[in-house]
Structure 1
Amino acid sequence: MNKQTPIFVIARIGYIAKGLVYFMVGLLTMQTAIGMGGETSDATDAFREFINQPFGSVLLIGIIAGLIAHAIWRMVQAIKDPENRGSSGKVKFMRAIDFIVGCIYISMSYAAWQILQGLNTPDGDETTEVWVERILELPFGSWLIMIAAGLLLIGGLYQFYSSWYATFESSFSEKSMNEKEMGILRWLGRIGVAAWGLVYCMMAFLFYRASVTFDAEEAGGLSEALSSLRDQPYGIWVLGITAGGLMVYGIYLFVLSYYHKVFDEGFDASS
């Protein structure tokens, strides 16, 4: 296969849509951090912002298509491993994560579709609280939430590790980039991935708090995690830096949609 095949077109559209969503989340949150009003945001809030723009319905339809495209791409990564990451236990685990992420983006596209239809759509925090409440009602439910908090913390620490060592650059197409372009994309990735590290760690703290208090309202998704960052010492600065990092992450995804190595090198679909 080559970069002109349908799956690669789908993958590129997906990266662009994902980048646009998280750039908007960062932008809305930045407005909160610098005192321009509003609250911290998540993907659902970004969808609502898109629909309020000129030609918003057309824009949101494009976003929905892009999120579905990204979901398909992540599932292809899980099943076919187009990046040839190998067959180690770590890689198998990452491929399982890819499949789960694909399912998450299908869910996000459905939420965007509901907003397009004018339906009342719960935001990420509300959805998270509902699921945490259901889990807390189970035997050993608080321990399950504690485990989820631990996994989120591990995810956050891994984001910092990935940011420091730029492990994500294995996805870059070296033959399509010069050293300067590689350096710029590497730093975009480092900043964006580090911002996600902060978000994941704060989400871990929220889940931990929910587990020890048996209160689902203590948990939360992206928006609540960002809001909690604001409540910390020097919180406005931390929130502003994180919001900027999410915007940079969106830009990183835009650029990666062109410079991802697999789009140039292809892979054998029959493998």
Structure 2
Amino acid sequence: MSRVGLVARGLLYLLIGWLALQVAFGDGGGKEADRKGALQAVAEKPGGPAVLVLMAVGFAALALWQVAEALYGRPIPDGHKATKRLGSAARAVVYTVGFAATLGFLFGHTGSSSDQQSKTYTARAMGEPGGRWLVLAIGIGFVVWGVVVVVHAVRREFLKELTGMGRAARHVVQPLGVAGNLARGLVGSGVGVFLAYAAISFEPDKAQGLDGTLREFASTPAGVWGLVAVAAGVLLFGLYSFCEARWRKVEAVS
């Protein structure tokens, strides 16, 4: 089930990357390059509802897998268990949100875009006592997470989670993992920067979701090619997720 979940994650990233490429070349058709846009793209195809069901099952499996690792630990040195369990708990939350969003989409609750959700939740949080500092802390958390992902990509730390690869497979998987995780880390840090800026300036509308953050890469000195590069990286992370589904260590916990 966990491997099915990794395939579902890969499909989601492939679709988001593809939508972002369409946006970059002016052929987005008004769709958002985020989870909602990806689910819409699936639903519009023949057999789409069945694929959405499999994606929902996959994200549920990923969430259960990470909950199990958070509760029962992993076969790792004692000094790293607390950090690893916190990481597993955080991933469990992310995958649970993915499961809920996919399930809601299946039942007709399409919701708003990631940008609108980000602005709405930021405004609500900042309207509460101490909410501004909470938003700032979340933004900093995204930035730190993104930097860690980038560092791990450069150092090829992700290879430690894979097993049973031959030399030929490794030559394919390694560049996919490096480029894909670099893009993933950059986008995550970008989301965090916008959240932090919204908190510091006390302007909730400055917050951006995945779609808005991706589009902002077109405003960098690299222009539209900045967005193309990041979108391609997101696509590659989708392909890397399929490789994870094949070679990721999915061990029983005790």
Q: Superposed, which structure 2 residues align to 1:1-271 within 5 Å?
A: 10-38=1-29, 39-82=31-74, 84-88=75-79, 90-173=80-163, 176-262=164-250, 266-267=251-252, 269=253, 271=254
Range with bigger deviation, 116-125 or 236-245? 116-125
Q: Distance in 2 between matches of 1:136 and 1:228?
A: 23
Contact 2:71 2:85 in 1 (8 A): yes
Deviations 1:213-242 (A, max 9, x none): 212121122112112222222231111111
Which amino acid is the alignment partner of residue 150 of structure 2? Answer: F
Counterparts of 1:221 and 1:91 in 2: how far apart (Å)? 31
Q: Aligned AA for 1:57?
A: P
Task: Letter of the 1:81 partner, please give it.
Answer: G
Alpha-carbon separation, structure 1, partners of 2:92 and 2:249:
20
Instruction: Give 1:40 shift.
Output: 4.5
Q: Percent identity?
A: 25
Secondary structure of the residue that 1:128 maps to in structure 2?
helix
Q: Which amino acid aligns with 1:235?
A: G
The residue type paired with residue 246 of structure 2 is Y
The aligned amino acid for 1:72 is: L
Name which of structure 1's ranges 137-146 and 195-204 shifts more when overlaid on structure 2: 137-146
Q: Give the length in aligned residue pairs.
A: 253
- How much is the aligned-residue C-alpha RMSD, in angstroms? 1.8
Letter in structure 1 aligned against 2:121:
W
What is the alpha-carbon distance in structure 2 between the residues aligned to residue 98 and residue 87 of structure 1? 15
1:261 Cα deviation (Å)?
Answer: 3.0
Cα pair 1:160 1:197 within 8 Å, conserved: yes
Contact 1:18 1:70 in 2 (8 A): no
SS in 1 for 2:78: coil
Query: Partner of 1:31: helix, strand, or coil?
Result: helix
What is the distance in 2 between the residues matched to 1:47 and 1:37?
15
| Per-residue deviation, residues 109-165 of structure 1 (Å, max 9, x unmatched) | 222222222234123222222221122112333222222222221111111101110
Structure 1 residues 32 and 45, CA gap change in structure 2 (3 angstroms): same
**In structure 2, what is the Cα distance between the partners aligned to 1:107 and 1:202?**
20
TM-score (norm 1): 0.87
Q: Give the conservation status (yes or no) of the 8 Å contact 2:34–2:114.
A: yes
Does structure 2 conserve the Cα–Cα contact (< 8 Å) formed by 1:149 and 1:203? yes
Query: Is the partner of 1:261 in helix, strand or coil?
Result: coil
Which segments of 5 or more consecutive residues in structure 2 lack a partner in the other structure?
none
Quote the residue 1:5 is aligned against: none
Q: Aligned with 1:220: secondary structure? A: coil
Q: How many angstroms apart in 2 are the aligned matches of 1:151 and 1:103?
A: 15
CA shift, 1:25, in A, is 0.5
- Residues 89-111 of structure 1: CA deviation (Å, up to 9, x unaligned): x5422322222221222222222
Opposite residue 59 of structure 1, the aligned amino acid is V
Alignment check: 8 A CA contact 2:32 2:113 kept? no
